[in-house]
Amino acid sequence: MLKGLSLSPVQPLWRRWFGTRSERAAARFLKERGYRILCRNYRCSLGELDLVALDGSVLVFVEVRSTERAGCERPALSVDQAKQQKLTQLALHYLKKNRLLGRPARFDVLAVSWPDARHPPVFDHIQSAFECTGRFHLFS
C-alpha cells in the first residue's frame, strides 16, 4: 500500500447487486400499488435516498431494506435513530433542490425478504415509518 493513500471501503459486488435487485423489486411493488416513482438512488454530498415516489399528492421517501432470510422484521428495524436523522437531512436537501418544501411528505420503509431465490420476494411496507428527526420539519 502506498504511504498516505487510504482506499475507501467499497461495497462488495454481490452486495451492490443484491441491493439493486431489491430496490428494483421495491419500485415494481410500489408501482403496482399506484405509486409514481420520481427518482431512484438520489445522491448528493449527504448520502443517498433509495426511492422518491408520489402517493397521490404526497411525496414519499422510501428506504429499502433487504435480506436473504425469511422475515422482514430485522431489516425494517435497522432504520435506527441515526439513519432516520440522515434520511431527514437527505429529504430536506431533495425538497429544497427541487423547490418542493410546501408539499406534504412522509418516510416509508420497505423491507424486502428473499428467502428462496426461486420465489418472488416478500414485502413489508411500513407507511409513515417515522417522523422527521432533528431540527428539521418537512411539513408545512
Whichever domain contains 116, its CATH number is 3.40.1350.10
In a domain, 49, yes or no: yes
Residue 20 within a domain? yes
Query: How many angstroms separate the Cα of 8 from the Cα of each of 5, 11, 60?
Result: 10, 10, 31
pLDDT for residue 29 is more than 90: yes
41-80 pLDDT tens trace:
999 999 999 999 999 999 999 999 887 665 545 555 667 8
3-state secondary structure 57-105: CEEEEEEEEEECCCCCHHHHHCCCHHHHHHHHHHHHHHHHHCCCCCCCE
| Set of cell numbers at residue 63 | 428506504
Question: For the residues 84-103, what does the mean pLDDT come to?
Answer: 93
Residue 69 lies in domain: 13-130
User: How far apart are the C-alpha atoms of 19 and 35, rounded to whole Å?
Assistant: 20
State pTM to two decimals.
0.80
| Number of folded domains that form the chain | 1
63 inside domain? yes
Please report the pLDDT score of residue 133 as a whole number.
64
Length of the chain: 140
Mean pLDDT across 15-21:
71
Residue 70 inside a domain? The answer is yes
Q: What is the pLDDT of residue 4?
A: 44
Is 135 part of any domain?
Answer: no
Contact 32, 118 (CB under 8 A): no
Residue 81 in any domain: the answer is yes
For residue 6, pLDDT over 60 is answered with: no
| Domain-embedded: residue 58 | yes
* Residue 28 resides in a domain: yes
